[in-house]
Structure 1
Amino acid sequence: MQPRNMSMSGVVDLAAVKAAQEAKAKAEQARAETARQGGGGAVSPADLVIDVDEAGFERDVLQRSTEVPVVIDFWAEWCEPCKQLSPVLERLTVEYNGRILLAKIDVDANQMLMQQFGIQGIPAVFAVVAGQALPLFQGAAGEAQIRQTLDQLVQVGEQRFGLTGLTVDPDAEPGGVAAAAPAEAAGPYDALLEAAVRALDSGDLPGAVQAYKNVLADDPGNPEATLGLAQAELLQRVQGADPQQVRKEAAEKPGDAAAQIAAADLDLVGGHVEDAFGRLIETVGRTAGDDRDAVRVRLLELFEVVGADDPRVIAARRALARALF
C-alpha cells in the first residue's frame, strides 16, 4: 500500500501495527508448540555460527532467514578490525541462543557476494530477514551498540515476519543447522510471493512489482508484499541511473525536488539510510506545493522500505512532522 497523501499515512501505520501484532502472536504460538513437543529439531550452539560461501548462500542464508534473522559478517584474514569484531559477534550469537544466526563470509574468497551487497570496506555487517537484506553497520562497533542493533533486529524479525528462531540444545550433535526445518503448510499467497522473489533474483523488476501488486490486490495489509513492493519499486527507479550524474545534479540544485528524490533513492540503495531521510526532510523545508508533496510522498515510501519499527524511521517521522508543521 503506497501512501498518496498525508491522510493515508495513518492507515499505513495502523496496518503495520495490526500485522505486527498478528505476527507476534503466531511466533508465540509456534514457540509454545515447539516446547510442548519437547524441542524437536534443536541445533547445537556450535551451529549458530557458520562459514558461508557463494555456493551455499541460498541454502545457508536465504532459506534460513525464513526461520531466524541471519547476521552476515563480511571479513578477511588481513583485516585487523575484523579480528576484533568477529569474536564479539560470535559470542553474542551464542548468547542470543537461537534468536539469530551468524554467517561469516570471507570477502577474498567470495568476491561476487561482496559486490552484490555493495561492500566497499570491511568489517561490514548485514542482516537477511525473510529473504530481505538490510545493512546493520560498517567498521568497528562497541558491544553496547551491537547489542542494541541485534535487539532491534530480533524485534523486527519477530513482529514483522513472525520469525520464531532456532531451538538450541546444548546436548545436540553439531551439524543440525544444515538440515532445513519441516516446512509449514503453504499460505494462500506463497506462490505469488515466491514468484516475486524469483523475479527479483533474475533482475525482472517489473515482474516482481506486478507479483507483489497481485498479492496486495487481495490482501492490502500483507506485510511481506508491502515491503517487497517498496523495495522492488526502489530498485526499479535506480536501475540504469548514473550515480555520479545524479549526485552532481543534487549538489548543484539543493532546492530541486526531483534531483533530491533521485539522490535519496541512491542513498538508500547504498545503505545510507539516515542520509536519504535527512536529504528529503531538508528538501521538504526548501520546497512548497506539488514539489513538497512529491518529496513527502517519496519519503513515506522509503519508510516502507526500511520498516515502520526501525528507530531511524521513527526519528525521521518526528523530524518530518517538525518540517511540515
Structure 2
Amino acid sequence: MQPRNMSMSGVVDLAAVKAAGEAKQKAEQVRADAAERGDSAAPSGLVINVDEASFEAEVLQRSAEVPVVIDFWAEWCEPCKQLGPVLERLAQEYAGRFLLAKIDVDHNQMLFQQFGVQGIPAVFAVVAGQALPLFQGAAPEQQIRETLDQLIQVSEQRFGITGLQGVPEGDAEGAEAEGEEAPAAPEPPEDPALAAAHSALDAGDLNGAVQAYKNVLADEPGNTEARLGLAQAELLARVQDLDAQQVRKEAADQPTAVDVQLKAADLDLVGGHVEDAFGRIVETVKRTAGDDRERARLRLLELFEVIGADDPRVVTARSALARVLF
C-alpha cells in the first residue's frame, strides 16, 4: 500500500481551540507535579504496547504531556514489519519528544474502528486528547521525519506540549562516529505580531485572531503561516454558531442553495471530512453561474489554504475544479 500523506494543517475542529488552552494548563500542571515529586527523568519506555484497557491512561492522559504517535499494526502485515522498526528507532532518537504507542489491530478491533482505520500500517497521533491522522503505509524515513517534526512543532506552538524531559538523546542522523553531538541550531525568535495572532486563536478569540492575522499580512502579504492562520480562524468563526444538524438537513433539501452548501462544506471540513467538503463545493460550482459560481469558487480556494497546497486531496480537488470551470 502506498503511503498517503496527511497534512497537519488539515486537522481542524472546534474542540481544538478550547482544548489548546486547557492542554497548556494541564501540561504545565503535569510538569509541576513531576518536579514536586523530584522526577528528574522521564519514563524510559518510549515505545509501549497499548490495548483497549490501557488506552485512556497510556494515550489520552499522556497526550497532555507528550505527543503520542500510534502505530496500528498486525503480525501478518508485511509493510507493518518494515515500518515498525523505523518508528521504534525514531522514538529513541527523538528522546521523548514523542511517545510511540503500538496497537495490534487483531486484538483491539474497537480502537481500530474508532479511529476509522481503513488499512494498515496506519499512523495517527493524539495531542491534548485530539486525534489526527499522520500517514498510511510504509512511508520513506525522510517523509516520516518531516511529519514527526511538524507534529512536534504544532504540539508545542498550539498546545504548549514540549514532550518528556530528561530522556538521553538517541543517535542522531549524521552524528560523528566518536559520538559527538552536533549543537542544536537556535530557534529563530517568533514575530510578535504572529505570536499575538496565534495566542488569540488558541484562546478562542476568533475575531481577534482574524484581525491579528490580517495585520501580519498587511505588512507581509507572502507570509504563509499568517495566511494559513487567517483561513483557519475565519473558518472557525463561520461555523461556531451553526446548528450542524439543521444545516445538513437544509443542504440535503436545497442542493442548489449556495449559502447552505457553503455552510455544510465548512462543517464537513471542521469535522475532518475533507474530500466531502471539497466535493460539495465543486458540485456547487458545477450547478451555478455568475456571482454564485464565483463565490463558491473563492470559498473552495479558502478551504485549500486551510489544508495546504501540497496535500494530495487539494491537488485532486483543484483538478476537479478545473474540469468544471473549463
TM tier, smaller: 0.5 to 0.7
Aligned counterpart, 1:209:
210
Question: Counterpart of 2:133 in 1: which secondary structure?
Answer: strand
Asked if 1:184 corresponds to 2:191, the answer is no
The residue correspondences of 1:258-277 to structure 2 (distance < 5 A) are 258-277=259-278
Shift, 1:93, TM fit: 2.4
Shift, 1:196, TM fit: 1.7
In 1, Cα distance between equivalents of 2:296 and 2:306: 16
Kindly indicate whether the alpha-carbon contact (under 8 Å) linking 2:47 and 2:101 is maintained by their aligned counterparts in 1: no
Aligned counterpart, 1:21:
none
The residue correspondences of 1:152-231 to structure 2 (distance < 5 A) are 154=147, 157=150, 167-168=172-173, 183-187=186-190, 190-231=191-232
| Runs of 5+ unmatched residues, structure 1 | 1-45, 62-71, 107-118
In 2, Cα distance between equivalents of 1:74 and 1:156: 15
CA deviations over 1:197-237 (Å, ceiling 9, x no partner): 22122111111111111111110101111111111111111
Shift, 1:105, TM fit: 7.6
Kindly indicate whether the alpha-carbon contact (under 8 Å) linking 2:231 and 2:305 is maintained by their aligned counterparts in 1: yes
In 1, Cα distance between equivalents of 2:324 and 2:141: 28
CA deviations over 1:129-175 (Å, ceiling 9, x no partner): 9x9x994369xx554xx6699569649959xx9xxxx94569999xx
In 1, Cα distance between equivalents of 2:285 and 2:137: 34
How much is the aligned-residue C-alpha RMSD, in angstroms? 4.7
Aligned counterpart, 1:309:
310
CA deviations over 1:31-68 (Å, ceiling 9, x no partner): xxxxxxxxxxxxxxx8975866657637x44xxxxxxx
Aligned counterpart, 1:5:
none
In 1, Cα distance between equivalents of 2:317 and 2:246: 27
Asked if 1:91 corresponds to 2:98, the answer is no
Shift, 1:305, TM fit: 0.5
Asked if 1:57 corresponds to 2:51, the answer is no
Kindly indicate whether the alpha-carbon contact (under 8 Å) linking 1:247 and 1:263 is maintained by their aligned counterparts in 2: yes
Normalised TM-score (structure 2): 0.56
| Runs of 5+ unmatched residues, structure 2 | 1-43, 49-57, 103-112, 155-170
Asked if 1:251 corresponds to 2:252, the answer is yes
Normalised TM-score (structure 1): 0.56
Aligned counterpart, 2:21:
none
Aligned counterpart, 1:294:
295
Kindly indicate whether the alpha-carbon contact (under 8 Å) linking 2:261 and 2:284 is maintained by their aligned counterparts in 1: yes
Question: Counterpart of 1:136 in 2: which secondary structure?
Answer: strand
Shift, 1:73, TM fit: 3.8
Q: Quick one: structure 1 residues 317 and 80, their matched pair in 2 at CA, closer, same or farther if it must change by over 3 Å?
A: closer
Over the matched positions of the two proteins, sequence identity in percent amounts to 50
Letter in 1 for 2:64: F
Letter in 1 for 2:187: E
Aligned counterpart, 1:136:
133
Kindly indicate whether the alpha-carbon contact (under 8 Å) linking 1:125 and 1:135 is maintained by their aligned counterparts in 2: no
Letter in 1 for 2:203: S
Greater shift, 94-103 or 261-270, is seen at 94-103
In 1, Cα distance between equivalents of 2:272 and 2:193: 27
Q: Quick one: structure 1 residues 262 and 314, their matched pair in 2 at CA, closer, same or farther if it must change by over 3 Å?
A: same
Kindly indicate whether the alpha-carbon contact (under 8 Å) linking 2:134 and 2:147 is maintained by their aligned counterparts in 1: no
Kindly indicate whether the alpha-carbon contact (under 8 Å) linking 1:135 and 1:271 is maintained by their aligned counterparts in 2: no
Letter in 2 for 1:185: P
Kindly indicate whether the alpha-carbon contact (under 8 Å) linking 1:53 and 1:105 is maintained by their aligned counterparts in 2: no
